[in-house]
């Protein structure tokens, strides 16, 4: 009985961790769709567009959810609000994992 309980508990932990961690490859594919047009290859930054690579995952997730909610952060937030609107929670987690992994 005890073994079954811990079996289910560890399975649940593995599943929830996978859901939270973000898929770097999926994030890379999503980034390639249009993020790179402004933020440059791998999020390195381009002209007036901020560098976003190598930042902490919680920071990136928070920024993207803030923009998605329509909240302004900097002077050019309107562009990002438009870009973040269609993102799902999973896409945000994947993008954050990908950008964090770019050093
Ligand atoms: C049309 C150009 C453009 C596109 C496309 C774009 N961004 Fe941005 N991004 C910006 C600008 C401009 C800012 C700064 C906005 C501000 O002033 O608040 C920004 C800010 C950010 C920030 C916050 C940076 C920081 O340190 O505060 C993140 C994270 C980000 N973008 C990720 C993305 C992702 C992921 C995508 C693709 C879904 C994307 N951007 C697509 C222009 C763009």
Q: Whose CA is nearest to atom 36 of ligand 1?
A: 35
pLDDT (tens digit, 9 = 90+) per residue, 46-87?
999 999 999 999 999 999 999 999 999 999 999 999 999 999
CA 44/CA 8 separation, integer angstroms: 42
Q: Are 12 and 85 in contact (CB under 8 A)?
A: no
Question: Under 8 Å CB-to-CB from 99, ≥6 apart: which residues?
Answer: 27, 31, 43, 52, 53, 54, 55, 60
User: Is pLDDT at 15 greater than 80 in this prediction?
Assistant: no
CA of residue 67 to ligand 1 center, whole Å:
9
> CA quadruple 14, 55, 45, 76: dihedral positive or negative?
positive
């Amino acid at each position: 009985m005890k073994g079954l309980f811990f079996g289910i508990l560890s399975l649940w932990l593995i599943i929830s961790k996978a859901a939270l961690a973000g898929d770097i490859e999926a994030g890379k594919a999503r980034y390639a769709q249009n993020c790179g047009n402004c933020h440059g290859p791998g999020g390195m930054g381009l002209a007036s567009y901020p560098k976003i690579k190598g930042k902490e995952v919680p920071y990136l997730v928070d920024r993207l959810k803030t923009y998605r909610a329509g909240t302004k952060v900097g002077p050019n937030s309107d562009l990002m609000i438009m870009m973040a609107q269609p993102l799902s929670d999973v896409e945000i987690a994947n993008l954050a994992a990908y950008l964090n992994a770019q050093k």
